[in-house]
Amino acid sequence: MSKDHLLKGEKLQCRVIPVTWARQNCAVLWCLETRKAVIVDPGGDIDLLLRIIDEEQIDVERLLITHPHPDHAGAAADLADLLEVAIEGPNRGDESLIRRMSRMGEHLGFYECSPFVPNRWLEDEDKIEFGHRTLVALHCPGHTAGHMAYFSPEARIAFVGDILFKGAVGATATPRDHLELLRSIRLKLLPLGDDVLFVPGHEMLSTFGEERRNNHAVSDVAAEKYDHFFDDPRFTRGS
């Protein structure tokens, strides 16, 4: 998927908007009853996001960050200032990465990339409310140490950043991080249910059921080779 995409739920609506040259899937979500909204991963293209806020006549209450890579969080500081809203997430495990984000952004050609400090660091199972809707935050380390995913139990949709993709998994720096990533996917994300639709940080949407069946890295068949490592503290940090 590379164009703006509207997901119509009965109570929650969502527009997925690829932003920056990296076509990162920024998501604007709102409660249909109150039009209170949150934005997940405002990586860039602030003018486009402001236009969508205006078009949908929604009231953004906060920005949520999955992890502080420039394509995901580059525009968070500037957009939070403009909208006068708080930034929430990621987990404190990404604190040092946030400090390095602007420099990384310049290096990679993300010109809207201002440093930020979250108003709230998120922990596993923290709740985020907007209007009558609630998202659950899930700490899913691996791609970064403080990576968060956001899940709507009611709408059966998850926003997973760079943890999991359709047919692939996120990049990691070391084999241990890779195992941590697999652990996050197998023990935190897939148990949410095969029916759950997920919005990855890039490219096309999929469901957890589809990945459980067909993803070469995290399918039930693939996991038989490594899931015994998950309880072994020598190989994973846990969370």
Nearer CB in complex with Zn ion: 109/191: 109
Q: Which residue has the tokens 């990339």?
A: 113
In whole angstroms, the minimum distance from the beta carbon of 69 to Zn ion comes to 4
Cα–chain-centroid distance for residue 127?
15
Could you give the CA distance from residue 179 to residue 197 in angstroms, rounded to a whole number?
24
Nearer CB in complex with Zn ion: 30/110: 110
Nearer CB in complex with Zn ion: 143/188: 143
In whole angstroms, the minimum distance from the beta carbon of 222 to Zn ion comes to 22
Residue 224, judged by CB atoms within 10 A of its CB (0-12, 13-18, 19+), counts as exposed
Q: Which residue has the tokens 């997901």?
A: 7
In whole angstroms, the minimum distance from the beta carbon of 73 to Zn ion comes to 9
In whole angstroms, the minimum distance from the beta carbon of 129 to Zn ion comes to 26
Q: Which of 197, 196, 189, 195 is nearest to 223 (CA)?
A: 189
In whole angstroms, the minimum distance from the beta carbon of 170 to Zn ion comes to 7
Nearer CB in complex with Zn ion: 96/229: 96
Could you give the CA distance from residue 171 to residue 82 in angstroms, rounded to a whole number?
32
In whole angstroms, the minimum distance from the beta carbon of 134 to Zn ion comes to 26
Which residues of the chain form contacts with Zn ion (CB under 5 A)? 69, 162
Could you give the CA distance from residue 167 to residue 125 in angstroms, rounded to a whole number?
26
Nearer CB in complex with Zn ion: 36/69: 69
Q: How is the chain split among helix, strand and coil, in percent rounded to 5?
A: 30, 30, 40
Nearer CB in complex with Zn ion: 62/69: 69
Q: How far is CA 203 from CA 9, 53, 145, 165, 198, in A?
A: 21, 22, 23, 8, 11
